[in-house]
Structure 1
């Protein structure tokens, strides 16, 4: 497996891959000063059109940057799913997605492409998480929640059952979302309130 992005997020993905017996062949990063991360060689900037023998994961936490890179590259993408995560046999996980340590994905959960389901997040039955979204550490999506493309759910946030969150939203850490949220909204607090649009 190759990783694109040599940062703290990549360190966690390296841990996940190595704990599941997957080796990391190298990392790509746009910063020419980076030479290695966790003992793995940084191979420089990834040039579009380059062919890889192994799959790639975009190991960048920023949803918009991850989406922009994925839309430019035509490579085979892998996944990183921690062996401490609990996945229902009925859950599905898209390419390029990372499911971190202690996560739970319940029955009929659908997770899109290039998503981050972060440490200890809980995603209950029938939830749908769109491409390029990020469910942060300790966040809870109750049953039948829909999270739109590129949306970020902050650490420790809770979304009650049946709520639909639009595309490219930001839900603040610790927020409690009790009603639907339109695209591009920024929501904070308990109960969650829209404070602006991005």
Structure 2
């Protein structure tokens, strides 16, 4: 790929995405904007050219594409705002599919999706704009992953599972076939989900149970304390 791409965010998630990008693009065609990295510094050999506040200016400097490399745990709102800004500025929003990922030709993908190493998106599945399908995730046949959902590493979504928009599924979670997880919901790490979950809740465990509404201050990363 010869088009120049701008990565929005230079943290840990950026490293995962960047590793996948550099398998397929020349390093010189990639740049990063981040408010917490020094201008002119590098990440994995890729230069930092500015901050997030005014990234739109790079559209007129030869960057045709942009990709959000800021992750999210439980609140993707900033990612959504960045996505809307980059589209309004006229950037193309490609998908970044790691070379080791397996994506069925019968799957339906939106824009700005990341599929990490050894992930699988099977036949009949659909994945919405801005979703993160992280390392070793399996999205089985006929599954639906909503816009800006984040499916963390090593999750298994069995056949015909529906994940709502802006929902976070913690690492290592297994979801039984045919279930629906509502939008704006967080499922804690290592859960076994055997029943559908509503919108706007935090749930975890084996079997997975609702513990809080999303207006609480519960941290899904600390689920083991409950």
The two structures share one fold, judged by TM-score above 0.5: yes
> Aligned in 2, Cα 1:8/1:169: closer, same or farther, shift over 3 Å?
same
In structure 2, C-alpha distance between the alignment counterparts of 1:8 and 1:90, rounded to whole Å: 31
Among 64, 77, 95, the residue aligned to 1:79:
95
Distance 1:114 1:4 in 2: 13
1:123-142 maps to which residues of 2 (within 5 A)?
Answer: 123-142=139-158
1:39 counterpart = 2:52: no
**What are the superposed Cα offsets for residues 126-174 of structure 1, whole Å, 9 maximum, x if unpaired?**
0010111111100000000110111011100011011111111100111
Structure 1 residues 21 and 42, CA, compared in 2 at 3 Å: closer, same or farther?
closer
Q: Residue 71 of structure 1: CA displacement?
A: 2.4
The runs of 5 or more residues in structure 2 that have no matched partner are 215-226
Equivalent pairs counted in the alignment come to: 198
Q: Aligned with 2:7: secondary structure?
A: strand
Q: Does 1:194 align with 2:194?
A: no
Q: Quick check: 1:48–1:72 contact (8 Å CA) kept in 2? A: no
Counterpart pick for 2:57 among 28, 50, 66:
50
Structure 1 unaligned spans of 5+ = none
Which moves more between the two structures, 4-13 or 61-70? 61-70
Query: How many angstroms apart in 2 are the aligned matches of 1:101 and 1:151?
Result: 21
Distance (Å, rounded) in 1 between the aligned partners of 2:185 and 2:212: 10
Matches within 5 A, 1:1-198: 1-21=5-25, 23=27, 24-31=29-36, 33=38, 35-46=41-52, 47=54, 49-50=56-57, 52=59, 53-62=63-72, 63-73=76-86, 74=88, 75-198=91-214
- Distance (whole Å) between structure 1 residues aligned to residue 208 and residue 66 of structure 2: 36
- 1:27 and 1:135 map into 2 onto residues whose CA distance is 24
More helix by percentage = 2
> RMSD of the alignment, in Å?
1.5
Q: How far is the alpha carbon of 1:88 from its aligned partner? A: 1.1
Cα distance in 1 for residues equivalent to 2:71 and 2:195: 26
User: Contact 1:31/1:44 (CA < 8 Å) preserved in 2?
Assistant: no
> C-alpha displacement at 1:64, in angstroms?
2.5
TM-superposition CA deviations, 1:71-102 (whole Å, max 9, x none): 23322212210110111110122211100000
TM-score for the superposition, normalised by structure 2? 0.83
